[in-house]
Amino acid sequence: MLTLYIAPGSSSMAPHIALTMIGAPFELRSLSFANKEQRAPAYLAINPEGKVPTLIAEDGLLTEVAAILFYLARRFPEASLLPADPMGEAQVLSWMSFAAATLHPAFIGGPERAIEALRQADARLGTRDWAVGERLSIADIHLFRLFWRMRHTIDLPLDELPALTAHYDRMMALPAVRKTCEIEQAIGYEVRGLKLP
């Protein structure tokens, strides 16, 4: 059985969405940032970095969103969350690298940097429904989670981000995404600056 450690609304939302989409049984363990549970000795024994997400599988332990998403897509190919061809797979990895190296640091750098990085992501997405090819992939899950967080933390010029806004709406229409959001909201969001209606 898979075990996923999360903190609702944080980066761990992406693998939570992926696991829900895949439909494989998993145990969810939520950590409270407010209570500093990510720094508790029991959790540091599992993940010495004290971050989420952490995925424990029968064949090992993984940290970092991109690695966990890639593992899940490869382990459960029937979910079709990763293209089968080498170029498609590489494009997914390119998007996930962009999310980790450009979008996430820009968000930490403040609203102006975040909006500029989102404009780049919007142009990169263009008129496509999904980040790579004709189907949703783990790249879309990663992109959605970052945009979800920024959208609910920063006052964004959504009219200047039409591709990302349409992508967000497509993702929110998916039952697995809605279910994940409902579960995490019921647990309670403790991430800094999050503003939800």
Both 95 and 16 in one domain: the answer is no
Q: In this structure, is residue 197 part of a structural domain? A: no
Both 97 and 135 in one domain: the answer is yes
Both 68 and 113 in one domain: the answer is no
Rounded CA-CA distance 45/15 in Å is: 21
Kindly report, residue by residue over 85-96, the tens digit of the pLDDT: 999 999 999 999
Q: What is the mean pLDDT of residues 121-141?
A: 96
pLDDT band at 197 (very low <50, low <70, confident <90, very high): low
Question: What percent of the chain clears pLDDT 70, i.e. is strictly above it?
Answer: 99
Both 67 and 113 in one domain: the answer is no
The secondary structure of residue 6, as a DSSP letter, is E
Q: In this structure, is residue 193 part of a structural domain? A: no
Question: Is 21 or 192 the better-scoring residue by pLDDT?
Answer: 21
Both 91 and 73 in one domain: the answer is no
Domain of residue 96, residue span: 86-174
Per-residue pLDDT at 192: 81
Per-residue pLDDT at 196: 76
Rounded CA-CA distance 66/69 in Å is: 5
Q: What is the mean pLDDT of residues 94-109?
A: 95
Both 44 and 102 in one domain: the answer is no
Both 96 and 154 in one domain: the answer is yes
Q: What is the mean pLDDT of residues 35-40?
A: 95
Q: What angle do CA 168, 69, 24 make, to 5 degrees?
A: 95
Residue 154 has pLDDT above 70, yes or no: yes
Q: In this structure, is residue 196 part of a structural domain? A: no
Both 48 and 104 in one domain: the answer is no
- What CATH number is associated with residue 37? 3.40.30.10
Rounded CA-CA distance 49/27 in Å is: 21
Amino acid at 46: I
Q: In this structure, is residue 195 part of a structural domain? A: no
Beta bridge partners of 4: 28, 55
* pLDDT, the chain, mean: 96
Domain count, the chain: 2
Q: Identify the residue whose tokens are 């998007």.
A: 95
Residue 36 has pLDDT above 90, yes or no: yes
Q: In this structure, is residue 41 part of a structural domain? A: yes
Q: In this structure, is residue 52 part of a structural domain? A: yes
- What CATH number is associated with residue 92? 1.20.1050.10
Both 93 and 72 in one domain: the answer is no
